[in-house]
Structure 1
């Protein structure tokens, strides 16, 4: 993903450079004085060439965006069996699997889920004195993950919360959507970001290109004030 992001950044830089050069050349043609046949011909060829390059850059931009979206989808599917548990205090020589199982049994009432249902459970990030690190849990099947996800509302009123293991791209989109529409109007389901707009309509998105039109169509309350 980082390599594609770098390619996209280079493509944007080249496009900006091309636009500057074209603007400079256009200004030179305009400054050539009264139109003569040679200047007029050059100007026409310039316009044709500029249109061709614009079309090529647009196609390249679209292809890169589609590749980024496809890879993000693949990465999200790789995370479909995982959830993140937040709010569990850290302990020395802790067993994250046992801690999570304790939450599933005592808080969510899922006593049938055993250690065999958890493939991986570990803390994310570097240790901090300020807060406990979240625990990434990868379950043995999507069904187990789905069962846990459906019962997460039972954690309301506690310090523990559960969220999906989104990709960096989708987490950024989700954060921007919640900032605009409000926390209660945005949630995720199987890696898809769901937005409930002010008119009651619901929108499922996975990319920034899908979010932008919604930001324009439904101004935030702070912007509308």
Structure 2
């Protein structure tokens, strides 16, 4: 049975249990004797019913989480040949493939051809403030990795390369960078790698996995912010001595 089928089966079982239990409670109330006995029986049945509901909901949540993880894994595999290029100037009637090839070849010293790219187009709606990123799907994983390994050649420019992460993994990546810092987090083939404060390296693919790391390595004071603050204080002191 597939994961989705198991979730649907659990949902059906849960619904049937709810209806059966509620009907039983209703029948007991209608046929109950003295009020004192009625309250005691209803309270006891309610506690049992509540435990059943919490148990079934917990099972359903776990199955939904596992199903969502499997779907995310499938979507991630489908994006293995894709990269996003940011910072390429946008023109009204551009040839996106040609522009992208020219930039990648000139900046990274690669010999890519039109056959190296399978799909190439802008993402999102046009914006006059900044150029839209370009989604590039390569003809092979080898072509994609060739570009990915050469991305250091873009340092110092306005251009940037990043992986085409799923919405879930992009959220995980963003939270990881906020907690551990931008230089301590990177991705490869959709997997998020994190360098912890103690120098150990970890890989995560879900919010649950990231949550375990966040608990293990609580956030400490931002050293860069502290350094900026100290620099400001020093400059302020120097200005004060010049008066």
Would the TM-score normalized by the shorter structure come out above 0.5? yes
Alignment of 1:34-53 (within 5 A): 42-53=42-53
Name the SS for the 1:193 alignment partner. strand
Name the SS for the 1:130 alignment partner. coil
In structure 2, distance between residues paired with 1:185 and 1:151: 20
Q: What residue is the counterpart of 2:182 in the other structure?
A: 183
Alignment of 1:1-225 (within 5 A): 42-111=42-111, 113-222=112-221
* Structure 2 gaps, min length 5: 12-17, 19-35, 227-243
1:42 Cα shift?
4.6
RMSD across aligned positions (CA) = 2.4
* Structure 1 gaps, min length 5: 12-17, 19-35
Taking structure 2 as the reference length, the TM-score comes to 0.73
In structure 1, distance between residues paired with 2:38 and 2:88: 76
1:98 Cα shift?
1.2
In structure 2, distance between residues paired with 1:68 and 1:89: 37
In structure 2, distance between residues paired with 1:136 and 1:221: 36
In structure 2, distance between residues paired with 1:43 and 1:91: 70
Range with greater deviation from structure 2 (127-136 or 87-96) = 87-96
Q: What residue is the counterpart of 1:32 in the other structure?
A: none
In structure 2, distance between residues paired with 1:185 and 1:66: 28
Instruction: Work out which structure has the larger RCO, using CA pairs closer than 8 Å and 6 or more positions apart in sequence.
Output: 1
1:194 Cα shift?
0.8
Name the SS for the 1:49 alignment partner. helix
Q: 1:66-124: CA deviations, max 9, x gaps?
A: 1111111111111111100001011131111112211222111111x211010111111
1:38 Cα shift?
6.5
Taking structure 1 as the reference length, the TM-score comes to 0.79
